[in-house]
Structure 1
């Protein structure tokens, strides 16, 4: 389940005014499907969107969610995935991991906060940090209290104003580290534990070339929930291609690409026009951007020729350029080559993100 899918389901359930539970992983040990900061939604009917365990625990988790909704009280559920005794209950999945999950009920009467603020933030292109109190013996900071900050701007808070400044400092530190974690918060002898989640919108990628081999690239990227822009200067290629999964389709002259879109909005780009001069022009424009991953279709000799023709621009571009694009998985044919390209892009974008 992608971020895009999760937001779509939330929109549907919100419109139906269903009571919901936000399930969040806040601590793990050993081998687990999800790590700290992972989320899923569960409604009052036991339906869920997203997965925290790959499908092993979600049914049981839905039962705990119903209890949280009926009581209105957040709760913690712990799963020992290596506990053989749980096999009696159908939960002995044998992963030898431990997972602690926080269940936060949210209701239409309270505007579905804080998840509405999270959803609104993820609908844009900014990274956000959400803070949720998961343990507390501080009277004025109850369990379930939350803050959401999008691009350093506070978009939701039901935290007592006396604590906002100090918790905002924690948010700032988490935003710099770009890693979900739990943090301790103390007032005198009283203590609280905070789940600090770093949430990022789906990456936007640019596919430059609308040949037949571009269709599976667009399709696989969209399956991951990425926002795909397809560009080709030839209207016939656009019309003939299967690009329904692209969020945006451009048909502008090659030289005008950087004028038609803000290239800095894209995390990755794949250059695959199958035309030497056009590929060179695309790369020249991409070199002026901060696009982190740039893939170039074609053999190594072709890449070297283009870089040589680009001169100084080519030398500056070389550290970001992946060509031949794609992981070496023995791909043959459009689908397998597209798989290798998307896999390499995913590795580059996600590893960079996690670091």
Structure 2
């Protein structure tokens, strides 16, 4: 989500300065590549790049092709075949072993629902979004509809670029994708028309609600900002919980545990961290958080503290289900050998990322399958055919 946020912000600046722009999107990958479908990069007419479609190898060539697309005023599908030994002649030298298809869409501001307008809608709401990008692998020189559909908050945005006769074919896959919240790639054929659709699920960025305003929370807030994650800092001490101490936090609250939830919006992407160094405050917050459908609750402190808290809650008569316990991480963080506040922040944020991505946070060198092989996380399915 941070990449999309950065692209939207850059687009706003470029538009205010009267610059023409184009959006480059990785729409399909065969084999391995540095970035996967959904990676985006905004290109301005004067060569400024925001986002990335590779590790820096494709950007130069994509910039030239983006300028050409801007001058011609129509989308272009570009193919990079890194399985070809002659790939080095292109000057990209990816070191990967795959075929990357990148769709370049010049932004026409006269169209109300151009690709960046759709992305602006995506970032403006904290709701899951489904974006459909339509392209033709069969006829690379033919029409490339591009980013042409958005489904968010129960509303649909359908652009004129989406061929009307394809919408009925897309509808079942749109419904399935919305239900499963798993990105997919599908191919469609009707008469002589062949298109491939990348149905992309875009989740809102996580929000970290950090209970505790000590000095050890400062690096957590700052590092979360680098990831594009919003932060809310809460503490019962007015001299600690101040905006001056946490200028990078989106919200700073002085509140008792029972006052927190009424002042914070909680959804499926809200993370809670209990860092108050106050046992009773943490216990009161944990009591309130356990019944909520949260993906992660992190508790700072030793395992004995965590065990004591859970024992006390059970003694109160609170029934702790396996589902509730599975989202509680205490002691919080990955075992990185962290000692300093900055290292602990790195450990905690890395664990949160692993949990949200449903990964085990092991060493990549020990991974038997490819890096991007899925472990229950949102996946890109192989292309399947839809009969005419």
TM-score (norm 1): 0.91
Segments of 5+ residues of structure 1 without an aligned counterpart are none
- 1:32 matched residue in structure 2: 33
Kindly state the Cα deviation for residue 278 of structure 1 after the two structures are TM-superposed: 0.2
Kindly state the Cα deviation for residue 218 of structure 1 after the two structures are TM-superposed: 0.9
Larger helix proportion, structure 1 or 2? 1
Corresponding residue pairs, total? 353
Distance 1:136 1:42, change over 3 A: same
Higher mean displacement: 240-249 or 251-260: 240-249
- Spell out the pairing of 1:156-171 with structure 2 (5 A cutoff): 156-158=158-160, 159-171=162-174
CA shift digits 1:176-230 (9 cap, x unpaired): 3333332122324532222222222211121111111111111111110011111
Distance 2:282 2:249 in 1: 21
Distance 2:333 2:261 in 1: 25
Aligned to 1:151, which of 146, 150, 153?
A: 153
1:208–1:231 contact (8 Å) kept in structure 2: yes
- Spell out the pairing of 1:70-219 with structure 2 (5 A cutoff): 70-111=71-112, 113-135=114-136, 142-144=143-145, 146-158=148-160, 159-219=162-222
Matched residue SS, 2:37: coil
1:18–1:107 contact (8 Å) kept in structure 2: no
Tell me if 1:291 matches 2:298: no
Higher mean displacement: 19-28 or 63-72: 19-28
CA shift digits 1:150-190 (9 cap, x unpaired): 13310342234444343233222222333333212232453
Tell me if 1:263 matches 2:270: no
Kindly state the Cα deviation for residue 94 of structure 1 after the two structures are TM-superposed: 1.6
Distance 2:267 2:202 in 1: 20
Distance 1:51 1:214 in 2: 30
Segments of 5+ residues of structure 2 without an aligned counterpart are 359-375, 380-388
- 2:320 matched residue in structure 1: 315
TM-score (norm 2): 0.84
Distance 1:186 1:83, change over 3 A: closer
Kindly state the Cα deviation for residue 34 of structure 1 after the two structures are TM-superposed: 1.0
